[in-house]
Structure 1
Amino acid sequence: MSIALAPATHAQSTSDDRLLSDPAFEQSLPPLSPLLPAPAPGPESSSSNEDAVAEPVADLPADPALTAPLAPIATFDAAPPPEIDVASEKMPEIRYTLVVKGLKPVGLDDAFRDLSALLQDGRRAANAAQVSARADEDVQLAERLMRSEGYYDGIATVAIDTLPNATNSLTVELSATPGPRYHLGRIAITGAPPEPTALARKALTLDTGDPIVAADVQSAEAAISLRLPEAGYPFVEVGQRDILLDDRDHQGDYALPIISGPKSRFGAIRTEGDPVFTPEHLTLISRFDKGEIYDSRQVDDLRQALVATSLLATNAIEPVKTGQTAADGSEIVDVLVRQTKGPARQLAGSAGYGTGEGIKLTGSWTHRNLFPPEGALTVEAVAGTQQQSLGTTFRRSNAGQRDRSFALGASVARQDFDAYNAQTITLTGSLSRQSTPIFQKRWTWSIGGELIATRETPFEAATLDRDRKTYFIAAIPLQLGYDRSNSQLDPTKGFRLSARFSPEAQKRSGGGFDGYARILTEGSLYYPLSEALTLAGRARVGSILGAARDDIAPSRRYYAGGGGSVRGFGYQELGPKDIDDKPIGGRSLTEFAIEARYRFGNYGIVPFFDAGRVGEASTPSLKNMRYGAGIGVRYYTNFGPFRIDVATPINRQPSESKIALYISIGQAF
């Protein structure tokens, strides 16, 4: 069946128009605009509304205010309205209290509180919205901390009460639900040959069953980057780890790809930049030989040795592939040293004061590379109330061998102490291996020679008088040291031992030749009682064998007293004295000292007790020991502690100082 839709007829349309038009309803509506006249009928409207009649629009009454004249401009107030300082009206702060639940059982409460946004600003906020924003940050923080410790299912929520309340403050409650902890499952290292894979697995200190702790994983991966270059793989690359978590048994299978690069051996040393040292001298300084398995520790050692010269502003060392292959298939890599020249000249100065020693000012000028390589020239002057000197020293570091120094020196000096006054000319030479602030060596040694011409005033026991004499002295000082302390400038644990032996020959005016030997041994011990408190002790014993005291030049005898000896006594004040109570020195020395070094920040307090004795005989003894006690303050700088010590002698004797003051740089021992 088909159905046809016929168009509407004219009669139907007219009937519909009548249904849509309601004249009574339209008459009841108000006009659309009472102010405007009805629109003029158009052609279309005239044909359809021929019976409509336009109603006239009534005139609106005039407004007197609109026609009134304006007031004179002079009557207006031109002053601007007062400003309102909204910023000065401080909004009241909202106080809140933070309650943390669920983190302490898993050991994360302290870490959370250290990083919490809610605890950073004194638990105050400008408004509730700020409290809510901080709470959202802490929710994310808590979840990150839980994931970092292996709680991957951990969630955190926060609840904040509303204002106003009884306490007029908010309570923010953060609740953490760690869930089960995930542990390592299978561990695999991929992408490298068997040898570097085995080295990497040994360096990766992770085991199946360990909790998945982010810090431990990152530390273990960093160990691979350190260990493989130490074993001949300088170009190792550690890839991105993959941990596949299984929420059924709460384990994660760990996989780490690495690119080991070729196993390498040391080749030649090359240099670039503004070279201070030639490849030949760099080869002398280095501790590795060509053809040895590459070891990054040897490269770091060379870098530190270059820093220790103080001649470079910057230096960088890296391995460079050569494409050459050794007999065992390993690759030869050169060591490229990039150098930037630093300042070679240096000015230095120091000052000190000691009772009996007076004020002492020292200044020096050094050119560290006047005679390359590493040939330094130093000119030093001392100006003091009781001593003055001028000297010059030539020193070649790394002289023919790493860490070996050769030095030549000459000086003239004048000294005026209670024990003696002297005018001295000295020539010295030495070959030594000494510690530096960067390289603190366990074993040190020195062998040298001294030629001395000096005019001094010795005390003559036979005549009870002091007459000026001239001495010509030749000495061969030998020294050996062993250092197991943890610092060169400020040790807090360990010990040090040293021994000095100096055979000497002397020609004095009015006498013949004298031969004798000076021996001095010393030991120091440092024991930490706590992180802030260190107990330090020192013992020193000396002896002169082979000559009578009065035959030895006064400047070569042993004395005690002063900031580096027995505090509480003036410089050289302790020991035998002449009829005028002036020290005359001796042939034996015994000293002890003990300190309690308490440090707080950059400051320290050091009570101390010292003991010492100088004897006329050559055998050290503990009889008739003298004691001094005092207290010191320390200010710790990056180059060592600044020291002020105040002490007094116990059982003080006539002519001895009541109070002794010492000011210097560095610990007493």
Structure 2
Amino acid sequence: MRAIIAASLLLAPGVCGAQAQGQSAQAQAPTQTPAQGAAEPPQEMAQPSLLNSIVSLFNPQRLAQSGPQAPDATPYTVEIVVNGGDRDLRNAVEAASDLETLKNRPPSGAAGLVRRALADQGNIVSALYASGFYAGTVRLRIAGNAPDAPNIFEIVDAARARGPVPVRVEIDPGPLFHFGKIAILDAATRRPLADTPTLARLRLMPGEPALASSVVRAEGMLVDNLRRSGHPFARVTDKDVVADHATKLLDVAFHVAPGPAATFGKFTVKGADFLTPGFIEERIEIAPGTPYSPEALTRLRRRLLGYESIASVRIHEADKLDPDGSLPITLDIEPRKSRYVGFGATYSSTDGSAVNVFWGHRNLFGGGETLRLDAQTSWFGEKSEAVPDADPFGYKVSASFMKPGILTAQDDLVAQAAVLREVTNAYVREAVTLIAGVRHRYSDQLSLQVSLDLEQSHVQDADGSGDYGIVGIPFDLKYDTTDNELDPTKGVRFAGTLEPFAYLGDAGSGPTLFKGAFSTYHAFDDESRFILAGRVAAGSVFGASLYDIPPQRRFYVGGGGSLRGYDYQSASPRNAEGILIGGRSFFEASVEGRIRVTDTIGIVPFFDMGSAFASEWPDFDMMKYSAGIGLRYYTAIGPLRLDLAFPLNPGPDDGTFGLYVSLGQAF
């Protein structure tokens, strides 16, 4: 019985994380508020959890919090009592309290402790508002005295001489308020505004708990809705927020100024002199006179950032319309460093280790052309089942090239050539390969690539050795509506390949390969903390028998990229001696529940199924299954993935578990 461990490490200079920019709306405090102090604008708060002691190791603020203490540090203990509140309210109050969250960082002197306590009154009132409590009271005592007592500094110093200063915060949240009358008015006419989101979508339904965070969120949604409708200068000019303490209702009236409807005007490009003239302009694809849309600008920015030579795209909207009602737009483009070098390493207890070094150029001839050269050495780590006397060392030297705009701005030339030696349990291959073609982008979501696939190889497997000349014409279709490449929260992805072969092994003309993968993602909440992700993949080679297909072109299932918990390639057909030979078809499916525990930590329960088959079409009676749990650490460039998987119906040669580490989600 074996355990599978796989890890990967990739290092390269010049890796940048995109910084999100946006606007935050502030809610006006309701009238008739308690006299404990003015509240700061309510904010959404992260909830503490039982995992805090563990996940603090991944907290980016941990080092700052554990730095040197303040001079004349004043240690204290804090007791927070929420009378009549539930656990969620207590968690919200504790998360908002600086006295609680910073208790391991004592303030400087008595004055520092008093300042922290006085600031906490406003923090806690904000947390009460955010949870729908507008008549609460906060009673705070330092060493048994009010923080604004005339001699409070002397009292604190005297208490400190006896040990940590005791601090007690007692909160009476009062009754929970509910939404009453909700009005969305035109700021100019004071009449109801047409074409606004429903109150249910705004989360402002009368009778529902009156969370201040919902009021803030609704303000942003109203502005966003108008901007999507072509009003770039939409804003909420005022809010009337009234808490009626007799009825325990919160009435809210938004006064909204839509501003004029606009069209796109002239686009001005700055900073793109590192590219050929007109490169950016040819790819804007927004004609003057097109109705204004922030989504169109987002798609444009994302499309331009897809070119490796471009580091950032800042979009500036003019502060007023031109006389014809159009909105001028300025694009500020910044380049990335042209050249880069790096290295990567992978390790697996079952399918070997590899070290890769690479050099690349992001703007080879000034037109956004990319070139990358890779040199990799690998070690299989154990004897190949099919070729036990084979040298376990492999190599791969490859070059990848892309030239944008080969025919039109939507057509790119792509090519990859390699010389390699590959060692697996099923075969050992020495080959020269070339794939070259043109990729056409129909839209930001849909593209089709037509290529020429050439391979000349010498392959050893369980049946001996053979020389293979392969000529194919693959059609690669991709459709992607997801919002993030490494960590999607919504949308779908499809990648399919149809490749007829002029010659494939000993089969002659006629064989055709088809394979496809479809994945979908759905977030159950606006913060994308609960995501259900699913993936299905399948493929077949028809028009050729199993042994007419070269071993390297057969299908194999097993490992971190397909069926977690099983050895690499192991869920695949074997011959009479039990040696892997691969299949003519395959099927895989996975489902994951991606749950964010904190802003940086997530857990992912998952279930995988799949197998390769000797038949032309999948035989679901021979399916393998696995399940497991994953840990995610979310970074600026994507989630770091750690998955632990267990096979559910293992064979006698399968391991007991698999452990996988990589950057990005599993799919």
TM-score range, shorter chain: 0.5 to 0.7
Contact 2:483–2:489 (CA under 8 A) maintained in structure 1: yes
User: How many angstroms apart in 1 are the aligned matches of 2:129 and 2:648?
Assistant: 64
Work out the CA distance in 2 between the residues paired with 1:216 and 1:599: 21
Question: Which residue number in structure 1 is paired with residue 299 of structure 2?
Answer: 301
Q: Distance in 1 between matches of 2:320 and 2:99?
A: 57
Could you tell me which residue of structure 2 aligns to residue 454 of structure 1? Answer: 457
Q: Which residue type is aligned with residue 326 of structure 2? A: I
1:270 matched to 2:277? no
Matches within 5 A, 1:100-249: 112=93, 114-116=95-97, 188-191=185-188, 215=213, 218-223=216-221, 225-235=223-233, 239=237
1:517 aligns with 2:523: no
Worse-superposed segment, 417-426 or 250-259? 250-259
Query: Could you tell me how far apart the structure 1 residues matched to 2:607 and 2:114 are?
Result: 58
Post-superposition shift, 1:407? 0.6
Q: 1:642 to 1:382 in 2, by over 3 A?
A: farther
Q: Does structure 1 residue 351 correspond to structure 2 residue 348? A: no
1:308, distance to aligned residue in structure 2 (A) = 3.4
Please state how far the C-alpha of 1:379 moved relative to its aligned partner. Answer: 1.3
For structure 2, the 5+ residue unaligned runs are 1-71, 146-154, 159-164, 380-392
Would you say the 8 A contact 2:269–2:333 is kept in 1?
yes
Q: For each residue in 1:386-441, what CA deviation from the matched residue of structure 2 results, as whole angstroms up to 9, or x when unmatched?
A: 43111112113566667764312222222244533332222212334799xxx9x7
For 1:569 and 1:179, the matched residues in 2 are separated by: 53
Corresponding position: 1:476 with 2:473:
yes
Q: What amino acid does structure 2 have at the position aligned with 1:306?
A: L
CA gap 1:215/1:403 in 2 versus in 1, 3 angstroms:
farther
In 2, are the aligned partners of 1:156 and 1:177 still within 8 Å (CA)?
A: no
* 2:390 aligned residue: none
**Cα distance change of structure 1 residues 354 and 492 upon mapping to structure 2, 3 Å threshold:** farther
TM-score, scaled relative to structure 1: 0.63
Indicate how the Cα distance of structure 1 residues 514 and 142 shifts in structure 2: closer, same or farther if over 3 A, else same. closer
Equivalent residue number for residue 387 of structure 1: 394
CA–CA distance in structure 2, aligned partners of residues 604 and 177 of structure 1: 36
Q: Distance in 2 between matches of 1:174 and 1:630?
A: 45
C-alpha distance in structure 1 between counterparts of 2:431 and 2:76, whole Å: 79
Question: 1:292 aligned to 290, 293, 298, which one?
Answer: 290
Contact (CA 8 Å) 2:513, 2:540: kept in 1 or not?
A: yes
How many positions carry a matched residue from both structures? 553
Report how far residue 150 of structure 1 moved: 9.6
Contact 1:524 1:538 in 2 (8 A): yes
Q: CA deviation at 1:641?
A: 3.5
User: Following the alignment from structure 1 to structure 2, what is the Cα–Cα distance between the partners of residues 657 and 651?
Assistant: 6
Candidates 394, 408, 414, aligned match of 2:415: 408
- Opposite residue 349 of structure 1, the aligned amino acid is F
Pair 1:345–1:104, CA change in 2 (3 A): same
CA-to-partner distance for each residue in 1:612-668, whole Å, 9 max, x for gaps?
3431x4343245x37576867656453343456676796756xx5667867552555
Distance of 1:352 and 1:397 partners within structure 2: 31
Matched, 1:340 2:334: yes
Q: Separation in 2 of the partners of 1:602 and 1:251?
A: 35
- Counterpart amino acid of 1:407? V
Measured at CA, do residues 187 and 398 of structure 1 come closer, stay the same or move farther in structure 2, by a change above 3 Å? same
AA matched with 2:613: V
Question: Quick one: which amino acid aligns to residue 640 of structure 2?
Answer: P
TM-score (norm 2): 0.63
Secondary structure at the aligned position of 1:302 is classed as helix
Note closer, same or farther for the CA distance 1:384–1:644 as it changes in structure 2 (3 Å cut): farther
Relative to structure 1, is the Cα distance of residues 458 and 319 closer, same or farther in structure 2, using a 3 angstrom cutoff? Answer: same
Percent pairwise identity: 23
Q: Distance in 2 between matches of 1:229 and 1:660?
A: 51
C-alpha distance in structure 2 between counterparts of 1:170 and 1:323, whole Å:
56
| Contact persistence 2:629–2:643 (CA under 8 A) | yes
Structure 1: distance between partners of 2:206 and 2:576: 83
Q: Deviations over 1:190-219 (max 9, x none)?
A: 45899x976789999799989997655554
User: 2-side partners of 1:182 and 1:607: how far apart?
Assistant: 39
Distance 1:628 1:293 in 2: 51
Query: Residues 254-265 of structure 1 correspond to what in structure 2 (within 5 A)?
Result: 256=255, 258=257, 260=259, 263-265=261-263
Q: Distance in 2 between matches of 1:125 and 1:505?
A: 76
Residues 277 and 219 of structure 1: CA distance in aligned 2, closer, same or farther (over 3 Å): farther
Asked whether the 8 Å contact 2:475–2:498 carries over to 1, the reply is yes
Answer yes or no: is the 8 Å Cα contact 1:354–1:570 preserved in 2: no
Q: Which runs of 5+ in 1 are unaligned?
A: 1-89, 460-464
> 2:279 is paired with a residue of what secondary structure?
helix
Q: Structure 1 residue 502: deviation in Å?
A: 1.4
Deviates more, 1:540-549 or 1:385-394: 540-549
Deviations 1:517-573 (A, max 9, x none): 123344557799999998877655433222333333332233444443456665445
Relative to structure 1, the CA distance from residue 350 to residue 153 in structure 2 (aligned partners, 3 Å threshold; closer, same or farther) is closer
Q: 1:362 Cα shift?
A: 2.9
Change (3 A) 1:314 1:585: closer
Does the aligned pair in 2 maintain the 1:410–1:427 contact within 8 Å? yes
| Contact 1:96/1:171 (<8 A) preserved | yes
Match runs of 1:237-636 below 5 Å: 239=237, 256=255, 258=257, 260=259, 263-273=261-271, 275-277=273-275, 280-320=278-318, 325-326=323-324, 331-354=325-348, 357-385=351-379, 386-397=393-404, 405-432=412-439, 445-457=448-460, 466-469=464-467, 471-481=468-478, 488-489=485-486, 498-506=495-503, 513-522=508-517, 540-565=537-562, 570-572=567-569, 575=572, 582-590=579-587, 602=601, 612-615=611-614, 617-622=615-620, 625=622, 627=624, 634=631, 636=633
- Distance in 1 of aligned mates of 2:116 and 2:94: 13
2:360 corresponds to which letter in structure 1? T
Structure 2 contact 356–374 (Cα < 8 Å) conserved? yes
Letter in 1 for 2:470: I
For 2:258 and 2:490, the matched residues in 1 are separated by: 42
User: What secondary structure does 1:280 align onto?
Assistant: coil
- Counterpart CA distance in 1 for 2:138 and 2:367 is 65
The structure, 1 or 2, with the larger RCO (C-alpha pairs under 8 Å, 6+ apart) is 2
